[in-house]
């Protein structure tokens, strides 16, 4: 099947429409989780340090940093990011401008508005990956399959529905990969990189670092892919790296390095920053198998995701989904390998596949080096794997393109082999090998003399619609995964404050107070998510917004010098005496000891322990 250029706009519009519906579905339903609260606060040019510690505060006070200030500007965004956070400013500055387009809800920004920028950038990644597929493989078919897979990718939808900077980073990865593919193509032709393309590449790479520091992994993986290309060239010409067409590649490398060096002071501060300590693993080498398992889970989720959430589903359903997932992975990978082999029979496709394969392997390798070698466990969160996500989608697309056109591709190989045999014999009596009904077996010799095995397949596999059914089946599996992601039923999950909110509302019999131990704004963000959800549920249940209907919150901050919670716990105990009884006290993610029996607060034994990555205990406080 050959796609006509006239069909491209309508087909691309279809993929964009599907991707838009999935990314904007239920976008504002869940309360913000910790990192989304940080995105919102810093994007508004506000500070977490404005909140009181070691004293009870109401919902309105806790949520006050989520209220925009007319005086705050982009300079405030950058200031608070540099002093309180570990992230570069580009996405936060964009969000600051973006939020000015939306009306406030009860004095605060809308969580839908905050998330919508990420969702929109996720939608833009669909035509972007189409363009990259078209550029890399000179194929409308590969471009459309890439766009279709990006539209329904569970991983892509998961990142797009968060108020975070990952979809912008993905767009920049796509742009940088486009420059890489074009650069290697020019190197193969012995042509120099145009100045405008070199400058654009440096600009994209510098912007990528200013969006997310892990974009450095993109640059590292691209460097490794280029080094492998250089090594291949030096096998044929030892002086290849001195050719003029390599000089501008060196210039791009130097420019990109300069774009990284300006962030060295900020990167040095990250290691000692409390909000980033969770990513450092002390036993990543001893427990080496766990990161591999998580890496595979995130890799699988780029294409398929079945119902597997421990939050909402029974263990039996999760186990069955796991077994089915493994079966589907084996089935999909077998067809992807076959399609990829067919595509590599074309010289141009083979070199583009090699670049992307080298890039993906290098990116994963760098992640594993950081995990095992430096204790920076990048397997702990799926979002860090945005680095190689677009390249994986493109490799899947070109493989499925091979499946879609397998009849034509194998027939072309057969015709080439048959023609070669006739020329060698000089007569029509040569053995036709793969040119006949058994044309699925044999070898194909390319123009450079390299031989490639033509994959063996039963001839029934070459019926005209067989490969197309495979492509449709894989896409439908991806669509199912996208729907699972939108429904929050997959294993791609962040903190879920809504789950604990429901438990608090159902189990509480008296006014509510919630206390947590505090180290940095991460704990504040967790409490903000709870406060947001509890306020929304209270208002939805018909409250008039009376502050007495909302819970009180207490951030138990440890002493900066001794790192002890002792003084803060004493203040909590003292202030508990002043609150009216009866009272339901919830200790959430509470990391220190506290004597509540002396305050006439007694543990509710029937309450659970975990909900949505929150640990909790319920105490009933009664009158003396």
Instruction: Report pLDDT for 17.
Output: 98
Which pair of structure tokens corresponds to residue 545?
């917004």
Instruction: Report pLDDT for 467.
Output: 86
Segments in 237-373 forming alpha helices (H): 244-261, 264-271, 289-300, 315-343, 347-368
How far apart are alpha carbons 461 and 471 in whole angstroms?
14
**HSE on the CB side for 417, CA within 13 Å?**
25
How far apart are alpha carbons 48 and 515 in whole angstroms?
17
Question: What would the pLDDT profile of 275-304 be if each residue is shown by its tens digit?
Answer: 777 777 656 555 778 889 999 999 999 999
527 inside domain = yes
Instruction: Report pLDDT for 369.
Output: 92
Report helix, strand or coil for 455: coil
Question: What would the pLDDT profile of 262-274 be if each residue is shown by its tens digit?
Answer: 988 887 777 667 7
124 inside domain = no
How far apart are alpha carbons 207 and 313 in whole angstroms?
41
Instruction: Report pLDDT for 430.
Output: 38
Instruction: Report pLDDT for 318.
Output: 95
Sign of CA dihedral 540, 544, 547, 548: negative
> Considering only CA atoms, which of 406, 404, 392 is closest in space to residue 478?
392
Looking at the structure of the chain, the number of domains it has is 1
551 inside domain = yes
How far apart are alpha carbons 439 and 411 in whole angstroms?
7
Question: What would the pLDDT profile of 234-251 be if each residue is shown by its tens digit?
Answer: 888 888 788 888 999 999
Instruction: Report pLDDT for 210.
Output: 96
Residue spans of the chain under pLDDT 50: 1, 421, 423-450, 459-462
Instruction: Report pLDDT for 425.
Output: 46
Instruction: Report pLDDT for 216.
Output: 96
Query: pTM of this prediction?
Result: 0.90
236 inside domain = no
CB neighbour list of residue 208: distance below 8 Å, 6 or more residues apart: 169, 172, 173, 176, 215, 218, 219
Question: What would the pLDDT profile of 56-72 be if each residue is shown by its tens digit?
Answer: 999 999 999 999 998 99
Instruction: Report pLDDT for 559.
Output: 87
524 inside domain = yes
526 inside domain = yes
How far apart are alpha carbons 420 and 591 in whole angstroms?
75
Instruction: Report pLDDT for 268.
Output: 76
Report helix, strand or coil for 514: strand
DSSP string, 10-70: HHHHHHHHHHHHHHHTTTTTSPP-HHHHHHHHHHTT--GGGS-SSSEE-HHHHTGGGS--T
Instruction: Report pLDDT for 41.
Output: 97
Q: Which domain holds residue 612?
A: 497-621
Instruction: Report pLDDT for 435.
Output: 36
609 inside domain = yes
How far apart are alpha carbons 249 and 395 in whole angstroms?
24
479 inside domain = no
């Amino acid at each position: 099947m050959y796609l006509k250029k006239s069909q491209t706009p309508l087909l691309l519009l279809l993929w964009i429409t599907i991707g838009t519906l999935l990314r904007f579905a239920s976008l504002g339903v869940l309360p913000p989780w910790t990192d989304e609260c940080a995105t919102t606060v810093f994007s508004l040019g506000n500070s977490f340090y404005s909140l009181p510690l070691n004293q009870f505060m109401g919902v309105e006070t806790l949520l006050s940093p989520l209220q925009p200030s007319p005086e705050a500007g982009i300079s405030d965004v950058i200031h608070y990011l540099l002093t309180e956070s570990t992230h570069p400013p580009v996405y936060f500055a964009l969000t600051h401008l973006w939020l000015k387009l939306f009306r406030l809800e009860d004095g605060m920004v809308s969580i839908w508005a905050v998330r919508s920028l990420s969702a929109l950038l996720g939608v833009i990644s669909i035509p972007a990956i189409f363009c990259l597929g078209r550029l890399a493989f000179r194929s409308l078919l590969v471009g459309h399959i890439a766009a279709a897979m990006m539209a329904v990718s569970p991983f892509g939808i998961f990142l797009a529905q968060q108020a975070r900077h990952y979809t912008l980073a993905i767009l920049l990865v796509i742009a940088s990969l486009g420059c890489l593919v074009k650069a290697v193509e020019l190197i193969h032709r012995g042509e120099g990189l145009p100045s405008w393309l070199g400058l654009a590449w440096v600009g994209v790479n510098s912007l990528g670092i200013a969006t997310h520091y892990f974009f450095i992994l993109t640059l590292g993986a691209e460097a490794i892919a280029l080094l492998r290309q250089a090594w291949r060239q030096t096998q044929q010409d030892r002086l290849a790296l001195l050719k003029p067409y390599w000089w501008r590649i060196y210039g791009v490398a130097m420019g990109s390095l300069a774009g990284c060096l300006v962030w060295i002071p900020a990167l040095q501060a990250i290691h000692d920053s409390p909000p980033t300590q969770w990513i450092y693993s002390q036993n990543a080498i001893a427990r080496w198998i766990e990161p591999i398992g998580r890496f595979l889970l995130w890799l699988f989720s780029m294409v398929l995701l079945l119902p597997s959430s421990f939050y909402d589903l029974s263990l039996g359903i999760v186990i069955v989904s796991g077994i089915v997932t493994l079966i589907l992975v084996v089935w999909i990978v077998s067809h992807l390998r076959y399609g990829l082999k067919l595509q590599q029979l074309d010289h141009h496709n083979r070199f583009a596949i090699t670049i992307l394969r080298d890039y993906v392997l290098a990116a994963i390798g760098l992640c594993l080096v950081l995990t095992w070698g430096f204790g920076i466990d990048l397997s702990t969160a799926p979002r860090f794997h945005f680095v190689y996500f677009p390249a994986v989608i493109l490799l899947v697309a070109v493989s499925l393109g091979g499946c879609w056109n397998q009849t034509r591709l194998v027939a072309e190989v057969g015709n080439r082999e048959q023609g070669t045999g006739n020329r060698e014999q000089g007569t029509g009596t040569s053995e036709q090998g793969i040119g006949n009904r058994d044309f699925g077996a044999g070898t194909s010799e390319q123009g450079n003399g390299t031989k490639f095995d033509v994959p063996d397949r039963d001839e029934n596999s070459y019926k005209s619609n067989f490969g197309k059914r495979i492509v449709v089946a894989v896409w439908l599996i991806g669509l199912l995964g996208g729907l699972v992601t939108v429904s929050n039923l997959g294993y791609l999950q962040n903190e879920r404050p809504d789950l604990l909110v429901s438990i608090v509302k159902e189990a509480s019999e008296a006014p509510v107070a919630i206390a947590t131990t505090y180290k940095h704004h991460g704990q504040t963000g967790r409490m903000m998510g709870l406060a947001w959800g509890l306020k929304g549920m209270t208002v939805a249940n018909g409250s008039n917004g009376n502050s007495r209907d909302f819970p009180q919150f207490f951030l138990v901050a440890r002493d900066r010098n001794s790192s002890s919670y002792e003084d803060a716990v004493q203040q909590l105990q003292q202030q508990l005496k002043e609150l009216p009884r009866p009272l339901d006290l919830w200790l959430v993610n509470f990391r220190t000891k506290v004597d509540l029996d002396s305050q006439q607060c007694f543990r509710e034994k029937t309450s659970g322990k975990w909900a949505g990555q929150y640990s909790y205990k319920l105490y009933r406080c009664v009158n003396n």
